[in-house]
Amino acid sequence: MATLSIYVPDQEPYAVDLEGIEQLSVGRSPDNDVIIDHVSLSSSHAVIRNADGIYQVTDLGSTNGTFVNGEQVTESPLSEGLQIAFGNVQAVFSDGEVAAETPEESAAGADSAGYTDAAHGQPPAVAEVSNLPTNFKNLSPIEKIKKRDTLGQIAIIVGVVAILAAVALIALSAAMKVV
C-alpha cells in the first residue's frame, strides 16, 4: 500500500493513503485533495499521479518549488523512501515495499486530520518522539531559528545597569566630598 507521510513544521505528522488514487493534488487551496496550510506552499503546488502502480510527482509551477531528495524537480518518479519537499513541508513516499504495520501499531495511532489506514480502519500511528526515517534530512534552504536565552540576556542587562548605577553613586559621593 503506497502512502505519503507528511511532516508540516509545528504540527503532528500524518499519512495519506495513495492506494487506488489516480491523481492527488497538493497545496494550500481548499480545492486540493491534500490541503497543507503552510506559507511555503502555493495554492496549487503539486500533483502526485498513479499510473498502474507507478507514482510520479509533478510541480505545478509553485513559487518555492518541489524537491525530491534535495533536487528541485518539475517531474519525478517516486520510489520507496524518497524524500519530497513541497516548499518547506517535508514528506516521505512509501510504496509498501517495507513490512506492513501490525494492527496493534495502527491501533496505537492518534487523530491524523481525518486520514485512516485503509487496511485496519484506524488513524495512522504517530510516533511519540519522532517517526522520521533515520536518513531524513531537512531540505529547506532556510535555517531554523534558534531559541535565545532571553532570561540570561535580561540578567546581564540588569547587572550592567546596577554596576553603572553604583559607579555613578560613587562618583557623585566623591564629587560632594571634594567641595
Half-sphere exposure of 101 (CA within 13 A, CB side): 24
Give the least confident one: 49-53, 96-100, 102-106, 117-121: 102-106
* Integer CA distances (angstroms), 118 to 21, 25, 36, 109, 114, in order: 13, 20, 21, 13, 12
Is the confidence at residue 142, as pLDDT, over 80? no
Q: In the chain, pLDDT over 70 holds for what percent of residues?
A: 70
Residue with cell 524518497: 82
Is the confidence at residue 10, as pLDDT, over 90? no
Residue 112: its pLDDT value, please?
42
- Would residue 44 count as lying in a domain? yes
Residue with cell 532570561: 151
Summarize the confidence of residues 12-27 as an average pLDDT: 90
For residue 17, which phi and psi values (nearest 5 degrees)? -75, 120
Summarize the confidence of residues 90-104 as an average pLDDT: 66
Give the least confident one: 31-40, 74-83, 143-152, 161-170: 143-152
- Number of domains within the chain: 1
**Predicted model pTM:** 0.54
Q: In the chain, pLDDT over 90 holds for what percent of residues?
A: 48
- Would residue 28 count as lying in a domain? yes
CATH of the domain at 21: 2.60.200.20
Q: Which one has a higher pLDDT value, 133 or 173?
A: 173
Q: Which one has a higher pLDDT value, 133 or 11?
A: 11
- Would residue 109 count as lying in a domain? no
- Would residue 35 count as lying in a domain? yes
- Residue 178 corresponds to which cell in the numbers above? 571634594
- Would residue 43 count as lying in a domain? yes
- Would residue 14 count as lying in a domain? yes
* Integer CA distances (angstroms), 37 to 32, 88, 109, 111, in order: 11, 11, 22, 17
Please report which confidence band the pLDDT of residue 152 belongs to, taking 50, 70 and 90 as the band edges: confident
For residue 150, which phi and psi values (nearest 5 degrees)? -70, -35
Taken as a whole, the chain contains a residue count of: 179
- Would residue 166 count as lying in a domain? no
**Full domain range(s) for residue 48:** 2-95
- Would residue 150 count as lying in a domain? no
